[in-house]
Structure 1
């Protein structure tokens, strides 16, 4: 199954989740998503998601100077971001439970 469309639907949640424990800059977020198993996530998609979440008021940002290259813009969750993560997590959990039950039923498995 092509996961591209699934990933588009949950990328906001995935980005919020990786920023929940630790702030990160763009490529760091990409790397952490891939390390978590989202191998097909694209750099441009993550950067766009970070900008969108920031514009929506869910993220803070700050710049950290770098001696070995360009400055890095870090993102972190603010109160709105934590609330959005909690809400989206509940929505995702309910959806995932519904799909799992549907798939068990279609295979004739008992819950």
Structure 2
């Protein structure tokens, strides 16, 4: 992955993870697996776990510890009302930016 892609992904990964959690609680490894299945193959697990700590601290998710077949209990993250509000704002911002970028690209063509 190129540096430009990495930088753009850093700015959007929180919104992407919140979108994945919409109606679909998951633990860290599941989230990483879902990201990779959707084509975000170069995202490191550590990046996802650091992001999960941040969104938990910001109060965007609820966390439930569930027993694991192997090892300690897993932290399962689910989107809460504040997280839904943040996701709505992300999509509004994304729409605004993508429309403007598309306009710029069309002008250059």
1:24-43 equivalences under 5 Å are 24-43=26-45
In structure 2, how many angstroms separate the alpha carbons of the residues matched to 1:56 and 1:74? Answer: 16
State which of 32, 48, 51 in structure 2 corresponds to 1:46: 48
Q: 56-65 or 67-76, which moves further after superposition?
A: 67-76
- Cα distance, 1:37 vs. partner? 1.5
Moved more, 13-22 or 38-47: 38-47
- Deviation at residue 25 of structure 1 after TM alignment: 0.3
| Residue equivalent to 1:22 | 24
Tell me the TM-score normalised to structure 1 length: 0.90
Match of 1:76 among 54, 75, 78: 78
In the comparison of the two structures, how many residue pairs are matched?
A: 107
CA RMSD of aligned residues (A): 1.2
List alignment gaps of at least 5 residues for structure 1. Answer: none
Runs of 4+ in 1 over 3 A off after TM superposition: none
Contact kept in structure 2, 1:63 and 1:71, CA below 8 Å: yes
Unaligned regions of 5+ residues in structure 2, if any?
none
Tell me the residue number matched to 1:101.
Answer: 103
Contact 1:23 1:74 (8 Å CA) reproduced: yes
The corresponding residue for 1:88 is 90
